[in-house]
Amino acid sequence: NPLFSLFQVVHAHKPHFMALHCQEFGGKNYEASMSHVDKFVKELLSSDAMKDYNRARVYLDENYKSQEHFTALGSFYFLHESLKNIYQFDFKAKKYKKVTGKEIYSDTLESTPMLEKEKFPQDYFPECKWSRKGFIRTRWCITDCAFDLVNIHLFHDASNLIAWETSPSVYSGIRHKALGYVLDRIIDQRFEKVSYFVFGDFNFRLDAKAVVETLCAKATMQTIRAADTNEVVKLIFRESDNDRKVMLQLEKKLFDYFNQDVFRDNNGTALLEFDRELSVFKDRLYELDISFPPSYPYSEDSSQGRQYMNTRCPAWCDRILMSHSAKELILKSENDEKIVIYDHIGPNVCMGDHKPVFLSFRIAAGAGKPIANVHKCCVVQ
């Protein structure tokens, strides 16, 4: 049970403030399966594992009839009873409000002032007619420390063949543009600048051309074209000797490499050098070292928790990134013991086609206060 894997992490780390960001709420057939979402939310809120969290905020974008606004994002926030003063920012009134009780917002996200939500413009990813990609942002203040939490979902790779053509791929350029848009938006002039964490499905992929060239360095490539259009529909890479054994088959939605161990051994560390999409943002975003295997695309067969699907090249799609001031906040609060943990959830359990990742850390009381100027973010006007 994926929820059980989540509860194990909650039990192990006992967070006082817990943020859970979900994408593709309701799944791919959301019209049919949105009804299961309410059951999931109720189970999460009422479970024994969460009984010490006496305040919660749940924001679910379930309004799939609105093509203009629908993002299928879900943001959950749980506050432990031991946490005394916690405030959430009202973007309309431009002031913080004390958080009490449990509240769920689903079909009223456009009208709640407690978050900012945006779907990316259609022209960002023209080949995908019904894209649901976008972001939701909330702002919080705990022990005088203010920060934004941004739930993000960026554009995927539509075709392995197109991703393979250029290095970096055309899709990475689209993600780069969308992420830049979000970062500009959350630090614009409308509100005070605070530290921020951006997490979700960035859809970052390995540099496909470089990966294939490395994995199939000694292979010969056969190109198969469609008879009617002459369009390339399949690439087959075979070993030059060894009975010309097939190493990799590549189609629009097929990435079938003969040895998946390369993605799992030592957490796929050998492939991290091909994870290059974040490097463009190194001046704006920080990430802790990755020590877990690629988070996508896992088999959706419940008995195959560790198996990848042969649809895409495995990649670290799911990430937790932060501003450099947020990094200071986390690392400033770290003592000798290792408090900061960046890992994946349910390594051997089927969690769907993505493995969730989590970041656990402590913020020391007053960590958000500059030495000279005590930050008054949480004074409710």
46: domain CATH number is 3.60.10.10
Give tens-digit pLDDT for 278-321.
Answer: 999 999 999 999 999 999 999 999 999 999 999 999 999 999 99
d(Cα 255, Cα 248) in Å, to the nearest integer? Answer: 7
Q: Which residue has the higher pLDDT, 108 or 186?
A: 186
Give tens-digit pLDDT for 28-43.
Answer: 787 788 888 888 999 9
d(Cα 335, Cα 362) in Å, to the nearest integer? Answer: 10
Give tens-digit pLDDT for 225-259.
Answer: 999 999 999 999 999 888 899 999 999 999 999 99
| Domain assignment present for 177 | yes
Domain hosting residue 315, numbered range? 2-205+266-379
From 164-168, 278-282, 367-371, the region with the lowest mean pLDDT: 367-371
pLDDT band for 380, please (50, 70, 90 cuts).
very low
d(Cα 62, Cα 73) in Å, to the nearest integer? Answer: 8
pLDDT band for 339, please (50, 70, 90 cuts).
confident
Note the pTM of the prediction, 2 decimals.
Answer: 0.94
| Domain assignment present for 181 | yes
Q: Is the pLDDT of residue 65 over 90?
A: no
Question: How many structural domains does the chain have?
Answer: 1
Q: Is the pLDDT of residue 371 over 50?
A: no
Other CB atoms within 10 A of residue 266 CB? 11
**Taking a C-beta distance cutoff of 8 angstroms, is the pair 58, 19 a contact?**
no
| Domain assignment present for 330 | yes
| Domain assignment present for 229 | no
What pLDDT is attached to residue 131?
A: 80
What pLDDT is attached to residue 336?
A: 54
d(Cα 126, Cα 345) in Å, to the nearest integer? Answer: 33
What pLDDT is attached to residue 291?
A: 96
| Domain assignment present for 275 | yes
